[in-house]
């Protein structure tokens, strides 16, 4: 199993590290445009191998796509992150050109790859990769919901005073400060609905804190987060590589599901060796349906800024 990660920055390196530590891939190639940067990150990570007990071979390359040839899974993390006070959508001007270029270069050398898009604004970048490469929709997957759901579970556990392992919950919709749809009505603590433990007001606060999860960290860190994003990507890569059929909320091209068309947005999907193996249609409450519709309108507006 060969995995390529484009972008050796904060998220790309974190993702490569988690993939290596989980020890399911034979090879990880990290590619960056900055001379020597990916080579340095790869060498540093390889020097963790004996300490952390993994056999994955990690190599770094400067913009040489021939080294990514025949990758099974490719991850795009290249592009600029936001600074405090910015929205993800403001990154489109620079990141669209990068994602278009990177996705087509990857496809030239790995025609059968499954592509995971991380760069922001992620739903629009996933849509762009779809249009730029013409790849089948099951092989282009945007990462956002897996991270947002991890943040939702963190906030729920905090409010419940419960261990995170006791909590389950999912966030669908667009990966943006306003577009996320935390599915509070489906969230549980050890199969008991969280509404049995928390007031409506407290649950609204949990949802609000979840939606600004990325912005909160960006304010604290001065740039956007990387540990949980890297862990979220590595979980998705593992599900595909090991054909686990686990369900993750992912951004995927919709053709009528959830009443939406010609858009990539977060919905629950089954991940396996073919990428997105099934889009899972779950019943939403009226309020969740309305949030999903508004979220889709926001993503469509951002998609309209693309030069396709
Ligand atoms: N979808 C999500 O949930 C999620 C989570 C975290 C970050 N992000 C996004 O991921 C992106 C990366 O974030 P980061 O914190 O790692 O940024 P970073 O600045 O640390 O790393 C980005 C890397 O991309 C490289 N790069 C730029 N153009 C390139 C190109 N054409 N080819 C190859 N490499 C190129 C840069 O040299 C840099 O090393 C940002 O757009 C950020 O908003 C998304
Ligand atoms: O917040 C960001 O800009 C980065 C990422 O999308 C995140 O949610 O951490």
Average pLDDT value for residue range 63-68: 98
Based on the domain organization, do 153 and 295 belong to the same domain?
yes
Based on the domain organization, do 155 and 294 belong to the same domain?
yes
ipTM of the complex: 0.99
Based on the domain organization, do 238 and 212 belong to the same domain?
yes
Q: Is residue 206 part of a domain?
A: yes
Based on the domain organization, do 208 and 111 belong to the same domain?
no
Task: Say yes or no: CB of residue 214 within 6 Å of ligand 2.
Answer: yes
Band (pLDDT 50/70/90 cuts) for residue 33 is very high
Please tell me the residue having the least CA distance from ligand 1 atom 5: 229
> Which residues lie across from 73 on neighbouring strands?
3, 114
| Distance (Å) from CA 15 to ligand 1 centroid | 12
Write the CATH number for 178: 3.90.110.10
| Distance (Å) from CA 192 to ligand 2 centroid | 30
- Give the structural domain span for 299: 145-303
DSSP state of 82: P
Query: What is the percent of the chain with per-residue pLDDT over 90, rounded to a whole number?
Result: 100
Based on the domain organization, do 202 and 280 belong to the same domain?
yes
The total domain count for the chain is 2
- Give the pLDDT of residue 65: 98
Please tell me the residue having the least CA distance from ligand 1 atom 20: 9
Peptide bond into 97 cis (omega under 30): no
pLDDT in tens, 83-142: 999 999 999 999 999 999 999 999 999 999 999 999 999 999 999 999 999 999 999 999
Which of 204, 148, 170, 185 shows the shortest CA–CA distance to 288?
185
- Give the pLDDT of residue 3: 98
Query: Are the beta carbons of 3 and 241 closer than 8 angstroms?
Result: yes
Active site (annotated) includes residue 175:
yes
* Atom of ligand 1 minimally distant from the CA of 95: 41
Residue that is last in its domain, among 81, 110, 143: 143
Q: Is residue 161 part of a domain?
A: yes
Average pLDDT value for residue range 153-169: 98
Based on the domain organization, do 263 and 117 belong to the same domain?
no
- Give the pLDDT of residue 186: 95
Based on the domain organization, do 81 and 158 belong to the same domain?
no
Based on the domain organization, do 10 and 55 belong to the same domain?
yes
Residue that is last in its domain, among 97, 127, 143: 143
pLDDT in tens, 247-277: 999 999 999 999 999 999 999 999 999 999 9
Task: Say yes or no: CB of residue 82 within 6 Å of ligand 2.
Answer: yes
Based on the domain organization, do 139 and 286 belong to the same domain?
no
Q: Is residue 128 part of a domain?
A: yes
- Give the pLDDT of residue 247: 98
Task: Say yes or no: CB of residue 88 within 6 Å of ligand 2.
Answer: yes
Write the CATH number for 125: 3.40.50.720
Based on the domain organization, do 154 and 89 belong to the same domain?
no
Considering the chain, what is the average pLDDT of its residues? 98
Task: Say yes or no: CB of residue 224 within 6 Å of ligand 2.
Answer: yes
Based on the domain organization, do 152 and 109 belong to the same domain?
no
Based on the domain organization, do 293 and 263 belong to the same domain?
yes
Q: Is residue 308 part of a domain?
A: no
Phi, psi torsion values for 215, nearest 5 degrees: -65, -40
For residues 208 and 227, give the distance between their C-alpha atoms in angstroms, rounded to a whole number.
21
């Amino acid at each position: 199993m060969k995995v390529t990660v484009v972008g050796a920055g904060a998220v790309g390196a974190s993702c490569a590290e988690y993939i290596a530590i989980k020890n399911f891939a034979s090879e990880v190639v990290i590619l960056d445009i900055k001379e020597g940067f990916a080579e340095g990150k790869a060498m540093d990570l390889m020097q963790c191998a004996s300490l952390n007990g993994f056999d994955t071979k990690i190599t770094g390359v400067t913009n040489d796509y021939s080294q990514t040839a025949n990758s099974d899974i490719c991850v795009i993390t290249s592009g600029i992150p936001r600074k405090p006070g910015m929205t993800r959508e403001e990154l489109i001007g620079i990141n669209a050109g990068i994602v278009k270029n990177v996705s087509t270069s990857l496809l030239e050398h790995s025609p059968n790859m499954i592509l995971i898009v991380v760069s922001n604004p992620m739903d629009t970048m996933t849509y762009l990769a779809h249009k730029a490469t013409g790849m089948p929709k099951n092989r282009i997957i945007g990462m956002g919901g897996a991270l947002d759901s991890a943040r939702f579970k963190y906030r729920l556990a905090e409010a419940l005073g419960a261990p995170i392992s006791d909590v389950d919950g999912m966030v669908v919709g667009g990966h943006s400060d306003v577009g996320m749809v935390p599915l509070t009505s489906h969230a549980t603590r050890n199969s008991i609905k969280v509404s049995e433990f928390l007031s409506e007001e407290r649950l609204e606060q949990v949802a609000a804190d979840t939606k600004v999860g990325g912005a909160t960290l960006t304010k604290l860190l001065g740039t956007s987060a990387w540990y949980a994003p890297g862990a979220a990507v590595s979980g998705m890569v593992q599900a595909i590589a090991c054909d686990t059929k686990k369900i993750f909320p992912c951004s995927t091209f919709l053709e009528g599901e959830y009443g939406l068309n010609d858009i990539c947005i977060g919905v629950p999907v089954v991940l396996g060796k073919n990428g997105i193996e099934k889009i899972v249609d779950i019943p939403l409450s009226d309020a969740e349906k309305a949030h999903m519709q508004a979220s889709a309108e926001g993503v469509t507006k951002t998609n309209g800024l693309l030069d396709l």
